[in-house]
A and B are shown apart, each in its own frame.
Chain A
Amino acid sequence: MPASSRTRAAATAASGARVATGTRGVAVARRGIGAGTRGVVAAATAVTALTVLPLLVVLADASSAGLAEAADFLLRPRVGELLGSTGALVAVTVPATLVLGTLAAWVVERTALPWPGLWRTLLLAPLAVPAFVSAYAWVTVAPWLDGLAGAALVTTLAYYPFVFLPVAALLRALDPSDEEVARSLGLSPAAAVVRTVLPRLLPALTGGALLVTLHLLAEYGVLEMMRFQTFTTAIMQRYAVGFADSTGSLLASVLLTLCLLALTLEVVARGRRRVARVGSGAQRPAPRAALGAWTVPVLAGLVAVVALALVVPVGTVGRWLLRALAEPDASSAGLVQVTVATIGLALLGGLAAIVAALPGAWLVNRYRTTLAVLLERATYLASALPGVVVGLALVTIAVDWARPVYQTTWLTVLAYAILFLPRAMVSLRAGLAAAPPELSESARSLGLRGPATLVRVVLPLMAPSVLTGFVLVTLAVSTELTATLLLAPTGTDTLALAFWRETSELDYAAAAPYAAVMIALSVPLTLLLRRHVLEER
């Protein structure tokens, strides 16, 4: 190990230990463990610093412009236009996804709809189609569709599952006896729903709305294809023409502010209300309302949603794929090579995110200290970072301070780790919850030391969740476009990059095979989500 990095590691460890002194006493008193905790705290602190880094770099770079220049740039009509168009997209798409997602979830989970299992799968399936592939399909099917209408249509159809999934999961998990108690207290069926079910759906609704908003703010591919301008597309265009000033960072800071604003609004809207099931006892499934005369209209509505969100994109990709295969010079060598490269990059990204999330997840799960809560909040903050901001920040760091890592795979993988850390964290925490400290204590009283306990108890119990997290991140990486466009080394090709290049040249047939592979790779993700969220309850 070179001397400089050794001292740096020592310094990090020392600062970690210093942070920990306030908490360690409590931790030791609670669990009687102590050795090894310092290392975990140091690692978690380092990871947190890394995830907050893009935010700091973008803000620092933007502030280097100087106040007068920054004010001058930000007060231009162009920035106002971007603010207006971005706001309009959010204002149209978020309510649309909320209504569509909630209605679909209600119909599937609480009415006597024929084949609910099939509808559940079909309504979730659009998650397997990357939004920019869906946009490509719509552009070729309906070339007249563009601007706000096109952007709102495609994003609504691509993102409503973000609302559908948590609402459906919650509707399944809700104890119907709450509604029964409300009825016995004299409330009508509708009033019972409004006063017992709706308040408890609130976290799912606000969470879903936040997720859709963050995706809209970070979206690049769909909006570029629909020729609709937002902050993200403006930053990407600026980058494409080779900006050298800090205006890119200024735009990025506005974008970042919008993301953090959305995050704050969600926290406020959700409030401090606690939503939890009180007491134990077996839970019965909720009764399903008969649809009666509504059966046909409801089915027609669901068919329309599935047709627009799933059949159009998948059908179009299929159609172009057939045309591509019919062409005489079609060769699959390039496709295989790109797929292998993508999977390699995705596995690296998945591994990096899991390793980075492990120390923080462990601390948050085992020690409810101030530091652990702080770590949790920082991860939450990182979940609002758009790919374009992370990409831009890492490019800035690499160009200004670490030239050798610029245009390397490592930098790209680092971006993936930062972007998808929150997903890995969620899965790891679920895994740790499945391996409660009581079981570790039992193992130790049976004569096992710390490492043996980890190998024989904690890891086997965590394995399914760790694997889920790994798969989630891997699949997200394999269809990531924005940060990859900014960071991938010249010569590295991924499915998303190749697809993007071909569609930019309007060669829709050549783009189809890449789209097909991305959809195929995303199918397991959708099945996994369906099983995890909607069946294991």
Chain B
Amino acid sequence: MLQSFVHRVQQQNKWWFLMGALFVVIFFVVPIFRLVFLSFSSEGGLTFENYTSVLQDRSTWKTIENTLYVVVGSSIIAIILGIMTAWVVAYTNIRQKKLIQLFIFLPFIIPSYITTLAWTQFMSKNGFFAHLLSLLPGSLEPLNMYSLHGIIIVMGLSHYPLVYLLTVGVLRKIPRDLEYAARVSGASKWRSFKNITLPLALPGIASGGFLAFIASLDNFGIPAFLGIPGNIRVLSTYIYEQIVGLGPNSFERAATLSVILGFIALTGTFIQWLLLKKSKNNETAVEDKEPRFLFSKRKRLTIELLLWSFLLLTTMVPLISMLSASLIKAYGLPFAPENISLKNYQFVLLENQKAITSLKNSANLAIITTIFCLVIGTGIAYIRTKKPSILSKGLEMIIGIPYALPGTVLALAMIFAWMEPIPGWNPGIYGSIMILLIAYVTRFLILQVRGSITAFMQVDSSIEEAARVSGSNGFFKWKKVLLPLIIPGVISGALLVFLTALTELTVSSLLWSSGTETIGLVIFNFEQAGYSTYSTAFSCIVVLFILLAFFMLAILQKLWDRRVLHHDRTN
């Protein structure tokens, strides 16, 4: 009987696997294959010509070099900032952690063009930072933001929340006894961090770092704004130039460059795997939110001051510049009482119908995308962690690529793949809101997969076996044993999916159709028409809207915590 049970389980698993494979083939392999195929095609059939011509071009190599600098540099910044903030929030006894968490998220929500603009103003020769420096001895000058350094810094600051979010939960789950044991047996604070905490936290750090890595590969807004004046190209902007240049072979060249970019993304995946190999297996523990380092009042105040000045600088600089631009009557007028008005808000909220529609559209799209990703991504993550095989590794590699590709390229691949999925048959997906949904799921699934993998990696397989051996069926096993353990990690992934889908622009700008305006598109439209006051006003409304959602979530979480805690006690 036991044998037939095992057999049935295996049989069942095969079916699941086939289904999953089919899904991945349709949604990921086909579009990517169309792109790779395009890179090898010319009017005369298949050819290597695109590669030889692209690789012989000197600017391609310069571009790849720049891209590597930017991606590696900004990922390092994101990882360091992410670990530091996560450690402080998870382990120390500082106050107002919820509020701090919110501030860490803000740079991720504020549209990157606003962040970039704000930083350039802040760092400009007659900006705030220059005034600050002039007070110091010596002749220091603010950093020129239109440079590789500028791009690296702004990108690192925009992406560190990714690392923070995936690391903070992992840190909380590391059993405190381990570190105490190390400390008791004489290890210094730093050594116990290096030898115990860091390896145990690697699943989260590697996942977050990897996401920051591919997010900076695909980022277009920051290098476009800061790179063009300095004549600095990275792959995402170079590919865009190819596409809009409309030369003969422009698509083929763009596809070829995208394949090169895909290779860089895959290298990132491999590095991530190497790191994960070094990570230590963890004993299962539920999140432990109690502080582990009780600093004295004085020390705590110093840490709080440092952290808050960092947070205020990184979030308030862009936020204030956005807010003040949105309140001014016309762009360029000084911020003085006679120039302040609410007319931009009035226009966006009352006179322009598209803005409100777009809020609804984007919220709907983001919610549905999140639900799809949550279910599918967690399923894939489960397969990937519990049954690691070449196939499931390949799965993870493929799913990561659409997030790393520049949005424009992914959108083109989507048109190739979905307008006529079978040549000659147009099912009407392209041209409806469905194409946006499919594109979002394809693009953002990796965020959920990484979030959920991180969660699963911390569930020791012995727990699941114990549940099975003691007779729990599948449903019960999930509900009572797995879910409570993985929920925090899974939710982090879902949050990332939701926030990125909500303000997505590049993919939508090619795939939307009448009636499916999204938030990103409305902002893009205002910008292009020269109405930057409207676009900043609308961005403020979006940020406000997200903050409201956050507060609602926080309340919900409190209710949830209460329920779970209560539940734990009765058990």
Do A and B form a real pair?
Answer: no
Q: CB within 8 Å of B: which residues of A?
A: none
